[in-house]
């Protein structure tokens, strides 16, 4: 049996770490990453043309925003992600809840949705360009396809995990199916829906560059493709860092919103 004075070990099984330890750990791993990167670039271990040092990449990023109007490209990319993600949520949330609540609805849609989940979204690029041309529509459609089917499945699975006792109690007390879904099932699953949305928003960011490298002259991905033509690796890495920073920012905002809306739920990742 452990004693009150037992020494704590670094590898504690499922024991939460303190906030200072979490912050120091995060700073430490990034410091190691950038340190190794800088050492490799300056020592000649790697080709500096292909892997420029981090300070050059950060300098390029600063120059993008300060001198070259990169903020407009960033805003365009953010808009594309948010619009397509909102479209996916508008379809996935009601359909996922219905499929998770009514087996008859799942029997209709799940064979179709299950098959689409295994189709890589980039494979639709040629047909999307034929259908919609080179405007915003194919980019939004690609991001939508990359997210919606996985999001439907996640929401369906979370809805199935709503406690059966809650549903049976509502029906026993005379609640209609509509009232049971809207006032019992939906409030119970809503925190998990937000968790699923948070996970799939990350996937939307991963598809962003693919969507923007196809017949696009604006956005972060288009900038990276222009940089590739002139072998400007620092600009490509700058775009990667900006996308990562944006994705992390939206992930943190989703986490804060989750804690604010559902303080009674312990956040899971």
Q: What is the mean pLDDT of residues 65-73?
A: 88
CB 167 within 8 A of CB 184: yes
Q: Provide the pLDDT for residue 135.
A: 84
Average of per-residue pLDDT values in the chain: 89
Q: Which long-range contacts (CB under 8 A, 24 or more apart) does 246-249 make?
A: 246/74, 246/77, 246/78, 246/205, 247/201, 247/202, 247/205
Cα separation, 55 vs 189, in Å, equals: 45
Report CA 256 to chain centroid distance, whole Å: 15
Residue 196 corresponds to which tokens in the numbers above? 């699923």
Cut 0.75: pTM above it: yes
Find tokens 């560059």 and name the residue. 209
The yes-or-no verdict on residue 4 having pLDDT over 70 is no
Minimum mean pLDDT range among 26-40, 52-66, 121-135? 121-135
CB-based contacts of 254, cutoff 8 Å, min separation 6: 194, 197, 198, 201
The yes-or-no verdict on residue 142 having pLDDT over 70 is yes
Domains of the chain and CATH, by start: 61-261 (1.10.3720.10)
The yes-or-no verdict on residue 217 having pLDDT over 70 is yes
Q: What is the mean pLDDT of residues 75-84?
A: 94
Q: Provide the pLDDT for residue 196.
A: 95
The yes-or-no verdict on residue 242 having pLDDT over 90 is yes
Cα separation, 28 vs 17, in Å, equals: 15
Confidence band, pLDDT 50/70/90 cuts, at residue 215? low
Confidence band, pLDDT 50/70/90 cuts, at residue 269? very low
Q: What is the mean pLDDT of residues 262-266?
A: 79
């Amino acid at each position: 049996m452990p004693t009150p004075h037992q020494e704590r070990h670094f590898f504690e099984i499922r024991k939460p770490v303190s906030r200072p330890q979490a912050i120091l750990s995060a700073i430490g791993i990034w410091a190691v990453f950038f340190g190794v990167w800088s050492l490799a670039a300056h020592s000649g271990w790697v080709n500096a043309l292909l892997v420029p040092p981090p300070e050059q990449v950060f300098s390029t990023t600063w120059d993008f925003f300060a001198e070259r109007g990169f903020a407009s490209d960033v805003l365009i990319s953010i808009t594309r992600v948010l619009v397509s993600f909102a479209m996916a949520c508008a379809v996935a949330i009601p359909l996922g809840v219905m499929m998770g609540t009514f087996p008859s609805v799942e029997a209709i849609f799940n064979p179709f949705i299950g098959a689409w989940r295994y189709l890589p979204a980039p494979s639709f690029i040629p047909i999307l360009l034929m259908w919609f041309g080179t405007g915003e529509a194919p980019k939004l459609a690609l991001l939508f396809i990359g997210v919606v089917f996985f999001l439907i499945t996640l929401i369906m699975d979370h809805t199935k995990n709503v406690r059966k006792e809650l549903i049976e109690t509502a029906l026993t007390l005379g609640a209609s199916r509509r009232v049971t879904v809207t006032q019992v099932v939906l409030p119970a699953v809503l925190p998990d829906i937000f968790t699923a949305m948070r996970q799939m928003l990350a996937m939307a960011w991963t598809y962003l560059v693919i969507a923007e490298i196809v017949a696009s002259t604006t956005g972060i991905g288009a900038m990276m493709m222009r940089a590739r033509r002139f072998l400007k690796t620092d600009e490509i890495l700058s775009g990667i860092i900006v996308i990562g920073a944006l994705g992390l920012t939206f992930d943190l905002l989703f986490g804060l919103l989750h804690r604010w809306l559902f303080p009674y739920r312990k956040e899971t990742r």
